[in-house]
Amino acid sequence: MAERRGRGREEAGQPGWSRQQEAEGGGQGRGSTKGDVPRVPAGSRMNLISMAAEPELKWIALWVRVRWAAVLVLLLGSLLLLLLPLPAVEEKCHAVLRGLSFLRSKLGTGYTGVTRYAGQSTGLSVTSQGLELLVLKSKASPEVKLEAKAALNQALEMKRQGKREKAHKLFVYALKMDPDYVDALNEFGIFSEEEKDILQADYLYSKALTLSPCNEKALINRDRTLPLVEEIDQRYFSIIDSKVKKVMAIPKGNSALRRVMEESYYHHIYHTVAIEGNTLTLSEIRHIIETRYAVPGKSLVEQNEVIGMHAALKYVNTTLVSRIGSVTITDILEIHRRVLGYADPMEAGRFRTTQVFVGHHIPPHPQDVGKQMQEFVQWINSEDAMSLHPVEFAALAHYKLVYVHPFTDGNGRTSRLLMNLILMQAGYPPITIRKEQRAEYYHVLEVANEGDVRPFIRFIAKCTETTLDMLLIATTEYSVGLPEADGSSAGCKQTIPVKT
């Protein structure tokens, strides 16, 4: 899924406090006697009263102390929550939820909170066998499921009557009520096929198989759509390849090309940090890079993020692009060391040592990060990976790295740099994911976490085509320049036709 931030280092504090015990005691007074007439001593009545009241006073004092102790413990706990970093608190909460999930599974309540998917590998899918996700979202209640079933029945009735627009809305509503409703996924997929939306239909069938791998109807439906989807994807890759050839045919000395590549450099830094929440404008970023002076009144952390991205891009361009087929763990750590080195030097260039959480996705345990990264680097240098289409290869590398989430912060920026490194090594220009595409970017990453990475690959392919179109348009006789950095993303969706 593009990175979600877990900044801050753990602070261990054990504030101590002491109480001073109060000494309690009682004395019995002796009354003086006069004469030899027997009488009750003068202070004995007072002593009897004090003796009777003394236990009650002790209990009252003890109760007051207990109440003060409870208040102090509550205040101490609140202070510790404020001092501890958020990931540490979330780790404890998730541990409790995992324990409850395990207890439910042992008691036979059905839902364990763990979704397993043993999917089929296709030309555009990550091998997902053994993929394990802990999805912390509640299941639909029986009442909601009943409402979803009623909506599905109404949708099928509307479809039968030919009222397809109403049927579409009812299908969407049924899945909004119960996203895991397999029958609704199948029926909506059939409806999408009839509407000639093969990609949507195949996605719905894939999700149905994720939830119910042995569902016969979903298996039959997906066997029908899978070859069509692969053909559509390969055709799209062919269009991209033809546009790459046109871009590569532009003379290197073309002044318009040099100008637009320089502009795209600043645009890339602007958008890649803006996706992560950076508020600096394009002009401010240009000022920081060109002058190395700070912008008054702006966050120094945000400005250091820009300097870090500039340093990482220079490292990739001058050191790594020419080394085709030999990406190492050291290279990835060096990229990250520059990305985060100015904003958080303590965490820069080293793997995380704490558990992090990214939306509904829980990345591997810190102890497993090293092993996972070794396997990732082996894959990225393998013949199987290099035989993929460059866009597919780059997108999968991006997704696999951000899935492991090896760093405390800067995972998204590092993953996008690695993706562009692979593209540039294949002769493609570096691409930019615009900040206006942030919601779609995170959505397709979440879909990939659920078992289907093809929507994410198509998203990266769309961004690649947009970049190619921008270069082709900007180098024509009537150059239109780059889209506005702060403008809408409508221009990102425009493509130019290419004769194949």
Q: Judge contact between 405 and 350, C-beta under 8 A.
A: no
Question: Which pLDDT value is given to residue 59?
Answer: 66
- Using a 10 angstrom Cβ sphere, with 0-12 exposed, 13-18 middle and 19 or more buried, the burial of residue 448 is buried
Question: Which pLDDT value is given to residue 82?
Answer: 60
Q: Which of 98-102, 248-252, 381-385, 450-454 has the lowest mean pLDDT?
A: 98-102
Calculate mean pLDDT across residues 181-191.
Answer: 94
Residue 163 domain-assigned (yes or no) = yes
Q: Rounded to whole angstroms, how far apart are CA atoms 472 and 127?
A: 36
Tell whether 277 and 405 lie within a shared domain. yes
Please determine, for residue 438, whether its predicted confidence score (pLDDT) is greater than 50.
yes
Question: Which pLDDT value is given to residue 109?
Answer: 36
Residue 51 domain-assigned (yes or no) = no
Query: Shortest CA distance to 329 belongs to which of 305, 349, 309, 353?
Result: 349
pTM over cut 0.75: no
Q: Judge contact between 152 and 174, C-beta under 8 A.
A: yes
Residue 122 domain-assigned (yes or no) = no
Percent of the chain scoring above 70 in pLDDT: 71
Q: How many domains does the chain have?
A: 2
Residue 388 domain-assigned (yes or no) = yes
Tell whether 288 and 175 lie within a shared domain. no
Question: Which pLDDT value is given to residue 38?
Answer: 47
Residue 125 domain-assigned (yes or no) = no
Please determine, for residue 286, whether its predicted confidence score (pLDDT) is greater than 80.
yes
User: Over the stretch 92-107, which tens digit does the pLDDT of each residue have?
Assistant: 555 544 544 444 434 4
The residue from 160, 195, 230 where one domain ends is 230
Model confidence band, residue 450 (pLDDT cutoffs 50, 70, 90) = confident
pLDDT, averaged across the chain: 79
Can you say how many angstroms the Cα of residue 182 is from the centroid of all Cα atoms in its chain?
26
336 is annotated as an active-site residue: no
Residue 256 domain-assigned (yes or no) = yes
Q: Judge contact between 317 and 309, C-beta under 8 A.
A: no
- What Rg, from alpha-carbon coordinates, does the chain have? 33
**Angle, in degrees to the nearest 10, between helices 182-194 and 198-211:** 170
Tell whether 356 and 463 lie within a shared domain. yes
Question: Which pLDDT value is given to residue 368?
Answer: 94
Residue 221: which domain range? 142-230
Tell whether 256 and 215 lie within a shared domain. no
End-to-end C-alpha distance for the chain, whole angstroms: 33
CA max distance for the chain = 133
Query: Shortest CA distance to 267 belongs to which of 259, 228, 152?
Result: 259
Model confidence band, residue 306 (pLDDT cutoffs 50, 70, 90) = very high
Is 29 one of the annotated binding-site residues?
no
The CATH number linked to 436 is 1.10.3290.10
DSSP code of 494?
-
477-483 long-range contacts, CB within 8 A, separation 24+: 479/256, 479/260, 481/260, 481/263, 482/260, 482/263, 482/264, 482/267, 483/434
**Strand ranges inside 124-261, DSSP E:** 131-134
Tell whether 442 and 473 lie within a shared domain. yes
Tell whether 462 and 407 lie within a shared domain. yes
Residue 185 domain-assigned (yes or no) = yes
Is 414 one of the annotated binding-site residues?
yes
Calculate mean pLDDT across residues 243-263.
Answer: 90
The CATH number linked to 155 is 1.25.40.10
Is 443 one of the annotated binding-site residues?
no
User: Considering 271, 310, 389, 405, which one is annotated as catalytic?
Assistant: 405
Is 361 one of the annotated binding-site residues?
yes
Q: Rounded to whole angstroms, how far apart are CA atoms 341 and 335?
A: 10
Tell whether 217 and 254 lie within a shared domain. no
Residue 426 domain-assigned (yes or no) = yes
Q: Rounded to whole angstroms, how far apart are CA atoms 81 and 204?
A: 42
Tell whether 267 and 184 lie within a shared domain. no
Tell whether 355 and 419 lie within a shared domain. yes
Kindly report the CA angle at 182 between 179 and 186, in degrees rounded to 5? 110
Is 164 one of the annotated binding-site residues?
no
Q: Rounded to whole angstroms, how far apart are CA atoms 226 and 42?
A: 105
Is 266 one of the annotated binding-site residues?
no
Model confidence band, residue 91 (pLDDT cutoffs 50, 70, 90) = low
Calculate mean pLDDT across residues 30-38.
Answer: 42
Tokens encoding 259: 């100008």
Tell whether 342 and 210 lie within a shared domain. no
φ and ψ at residue 233, rounded to 5 degrees: -65, -45
The residue from 202, 230, 258 where one domain ends is 230
Q: Name residues whose C-beta falls within 8 Å of residue 246's C-beta, 6 or more positions apart in sequence.
A: 468, 472, 498
Can you say how many angstroms the Cα of residue 330 is from the centroid of all Cα atoms in its chain?
24
Tell whether 351 and 450 lie within a shared domain. yes
Q: Rounded to whole angstroms, how far apart are CA atoms 447 and 453?
A: 7
Highest mean pLDDT among 93-97, 250-254, 362-366: 362-366
Tell whether 468 and 333 lie within a shared domain. yes
